[in-house]
A and B are shown apart, each in its own frame.
Chain A
């Protein structure tokens, strides 16, 4: 099986590579681009730790092959903060509200919520909980995560159920 040549824009930087077709986008980012912020939990689409933005949309990087991202723009957790290191609103809210414990799941949560809050400027509590359902936290630190997302959305604290 011949390798396939691809070019992917990763966090604004073009990356060219020849990859086996069966290499997932997640493995491409971690092993070829050395961007190990994209974490691999289950590798079959359940846990959400590997979530990245593909042309702006949140997707599971373990559920697509790198060859399928040829020509696309990918944003990983390394591309979320400003170039000077200033945290994004979502990242800052996660820090402020203890939205991470061990941190393994955090890149996936931050990416998912970055896309969700871009598309939902004033989400309800129910919408936030639904949007969070695609990412798992094994520390079960969900209350802090929920509070962080409410704060990032400007929707109050976790004790205020917005409807």
Chain B
């Protein structure tokens, strides 16, 4: 037995989970799919006196379309919903296609059968796909603690390496993804959206050396009206390329031939702590990252403008073989 000993708890409601976390204090950890936690326990990178398992907490599983007067349409996914279920969901592919397209890039199908969206976000691996998707789509993270419920914007959730805004006694209960206007073809105002994720990994299923997510909304007149560019593997946390987004928002969706490459380069200019390891220097990662942004931008714009579908974009000649594999 490789992990250090711990006491096992399997409560059946979110309220009981939170009560346990409050009683047990810092020595307790929530386990959902365990696909990141168990390797850390096996390698003794981490150990806890108590594990609180979510396997019996049914209220944390599910996928629902929700509509509120304040926030419009949204897609709600329970924190303990597995990546496999998300990847198969027609509701997800209709309302948040970026999430569907990112899912096959997570680990392998055996991992996705156990791994959960809440686990992906709470673990907050900087080179993982779901945290970048949540940032890019302006998702909000729902939590429960002894102090009650709260909703944390994804942009305020990722605070450092494997660190989030979650308190030790706080449970991630669900994620809300706003449904972008024009996600399924032109909306009433003529806007259409495009979404793409691109990453480069040494082998399918490995953590990406660098990756990018792009969500873009284009008006009927061809103007970029909303844009999210997410970066992963390029800093201590997943990131938004805010300056690059601002530079393209309001401009023409179909710029000159260098538009995608320029956006890729601009997205890298904002980075100040790119990781370096035996898989690649910081400089290499930025070159890969720029190529991934450019490629994702082309695909997303192609979809939003009808000049190419999500699978219709050409290869830009950069490192690309990580795309489309699990």
Task: Report which A residues bind B (CB closer than 8 A).
Answer: 1-2, 4, 20-24, 27, 43-45, 48, 51, 54, 57-60, 62-65, 67-68, 112, 116, 130-131, 133-134
B39 touches A133 (CB 8 A): no
Cα distance A24–B42 when bound, in Å? Answer: 10
* Tally of contacts, chain A with chain B, CB under 8 A: 92
Chain B residues with CB under 8 Å of A2's CB are 7
Determine chain A's interface SS by DSSP, over half rule: mixed
B110 touches A59 (CB 8 A): yes
Cα distance A44–B205 when bound, in Å? Answer: 14
Chain A residues with CB under 8 Å of B4's CB are 22
Interface size bracket, B side: 20 to 34
Chain B residues with CB under 8 Å of A130's CB are 104, 204, 325-326
B4-36 contacts to A (CB < 8 Å): 4-8, 10, 34-35
B35 touches A134 (CB 8 A): no
Task: Report which B residues bind A (CB closer than 8 A).
Answer: 1-8, 10, 34-35, 38-39, 41-43, 51, 53, 55, 84, 104, 107-111, 113-114, 203-205, 325-326
B108 touches A134 (CB 8 A): yes
Chain B residues with CB under 8 Å of A4's CB are 8
Chain A residues with CB under 8 Å of B326's CB are 130-131, 133-134
With A22-B6, A60-B114 known as contacts, the answer to whether A44 contacts B1 (CB < 8 A) is no
B42 touches A43 (CB 8 A): yes
A1 touches B7 (CB 8 A): yes
Minimum CB distance partner of A56 in chain B: B113
CB distance from A149 to the nearest CB of B (A): 14
Cα distance A129–B7 when bound, in Å? Answer: 40
CB distance from B279 to the nearest CB of A (A): 15
